[in-house]
Amino acid sequence: MLTPAAITKIKGGICAPQGFQAAAISAGIKNPDDPRLDLALIYSPTPCTAAGTFTTNRIKAAPVKVTQAYMKADQVQAIIANSGNANACTGIEGVDDARQTAKIIAKQLGIRQRQIAICSTGVIGLPMPMQRITPKLPELVENLGTKNGEDVAHAIMTSDTCKKEIAISFTIGEHRVRMGACAKGAGMISPSMATMLCFITTDANIHQSCLQTAVQEAVEASFNRITIDGDMSTNDTVLVLANGESGMPPIKRNSKECRQMREALTYLMLKMAKSLVRDGERVTKFVTVEVKGAKTYLDAKKVGEAVANSALVKSSWNGNDPNWGRIIHAVGYSRAMVREELIDIHINGKPACLGGQQAKTSMNTLRKIVAKDDFTITINLHQGKAEYEVYTSDLSPEYIDFNRSEYAYWKQARKDGLV
């Protein structure tokens, strides 16, 4: 077992593992006058084992389609990512734009086009402003260096208010392994592969099928357990590149080392996933919804997701209201097997509802807990032993206000002659 105690946090984000380089520049994708970083490259000169999970939305952005096809055919060892435009619902032209970008980068790096993963995030439905991206690609490759991990974390941000990056080191056998990650949120976040990008680099040496399984399990225990607004994006992507530079012997399937890798990936992804919720669009609270005593795992999940996605429950949290009546009403419509008279609801361990009715805890005590910016709702169904946890947030008037219009994007696209 790889206990959290065996994990050391280190500096450097995605550049912390041996042999990874990065670069980020501003291409003015959203707006030519915007100086913020919006184009990023991650690269390992050593060939990598790569694994990923992608959005389960049936409408997939062009870069998701292209990357999925490339990863089936070849070994990815570079990731090019942009913010400001999702390149989603852009037809054949969108796919061509993604391929063309990969082609140019591949040529400059001296690798094959299919060794590049492409990721985009931003507004849906507008063509990519290639006239601004293409000329910047050579500069991006020239800037590659081992100190630019943080720049990449900045370049992929959209409505995020802060960068999300982390790096850890741990020991597998006698070998020190490093793992780095960066991710972005912050709206369209819902279970089933949350709306986000996350890139993870590691110098571990690991077999592809073993890495893919570990990544899928780690995503299920982290990104698939968060929800901000219940909306699932077209661009969700988690990519892990392992270049083996730690010098360890290759990790094999079903080995102790493979389990340790999965544990390290879960640790890292859970940190990233929780930081996405904390920085969710206009979020004021981080709430853990813990479901216990469900008959089945699926029942526990249904209850957790119904509560975590209820507009009324989330509104009450925004108002510091420990409204267990709204929580139990969402439990009731979750379609899980529940019996009203058995349901207990605790807030940070204090009973709010026992046996489906109001508990004796004073309302003031409960209000003080819900007024905090981090608390846990525990729902015990007393129907069985299955459990599930969801990480969610409140819903604020400011969220709606923030999401009222993306008109500025269209105006710029019109200026660019793209629409």
Give yes or no for residue 233 binding a second copy (CB under 8 A): yes
- Closest contact distance (angstroms) between CB of 348 and a second copy is 18
Residue 231 sits in the site that holds a second copy (CB under 8 A)? yes
CB nearer to a second copy: give 57 or 67.
57
Instruction: Give the C-alpha separation, 397 to 103, whole Å.
Output: 44
Q: Smallest distance, Å, CB 301 to a second copy?
A: 15
Catalytic status, residue 201: no
Site string for a second copy, 346-375 (x = CB under 8 A): -------x-xxxx----x---x--------
Distance CA(394)–CA(389), nearest Å, equals 16
- Virtual torsion, Cα 92, 93, 97, 102, nearest 10 deg: 20
Among 14, 24, 188, 294, binds a second copy (CB under 8 A): 188
CB of 97 to a second copy, least distance (A): 13
Nearest approach, Cβ of residue 48 and a second copy (Å): 30
Nearer to a second copy, 173 or 319 (CB): 319
Comparing CB distances to a second copy, the nearer of 73 and 312 is: 312
Asked if residue 228 lies in contact with residue 273, where contact means CB atoms within 8 angstroms, the answer is: no
Residue 382 tokens, joined: 């007393």
Q: Is residue 60 close enough to count as binding a second copy by CB under 8 A? A: yes
Task: Give the span between the Cα atoms of 13 and 8, in whole angstroms.
Answer: 13
Tell me, what amino acid is at 290? E
Q: Shortest distance, CB of residue 371 to a second copy, whole angstroms?
A: 11
Taking contact as CB under 8 A, which single stretch among the options 76-84, 187-195, 215-223, 264-272 is the one that binds a second copy? 187-195
Do the Cβ atoms of 384 and 314 come closer than 8 Å?
A: no
Nearer to a second copy, 223 or 267 (CB): 223
Nearby residues of 120 by Cβ (< 8 Å), 6 or more positions away:
61, 62, 63, 81, 82, 83, 85, 86, 87, 88, 98, 128, 235
Which of 266, 255, 211, 263 minimizes the C-alpha distance to 49?
211
Fill in the per-residue mask, 61 to 100: x = in contact with a second copy (CB under 8 A), - = not in contact.
Answer: -------------------------x-xxxx---------
Residues 309-338: x where in contact with a second copy by CB under 8 A, - otherwise, as a string: xxxx--xx-xxxx-xxxx-xxxxxxxxx-x
Which amino acid is it at 50?
Answer: A
- Figure out which of the listed residues 131, 209, 406, 415 binds a second copy, where binding follows CB under 8 A: 406
In whole angstroms, how close is the CB of 20 to a second copy at the nearest point? 32
* List 147, 253, 414, 415, residue binding a second copy (CB under 8 A): 414
Residues 112-171 that bind a second copy (CB under 8 A): 123-126
Judged by CB under 8 A, how many residues of this single chain contact a second copy?
Answer: 72
Nearer to a second copy, 232 or 287 (CB): 232
Among candidate residues 49, 90, 101, 195, the one labeled active-site is: 195
Kindly state whether residue 296 participates in binding a second copy, applying the rule CB under 8 A.
no
Residues annotated as part of the active site? 195
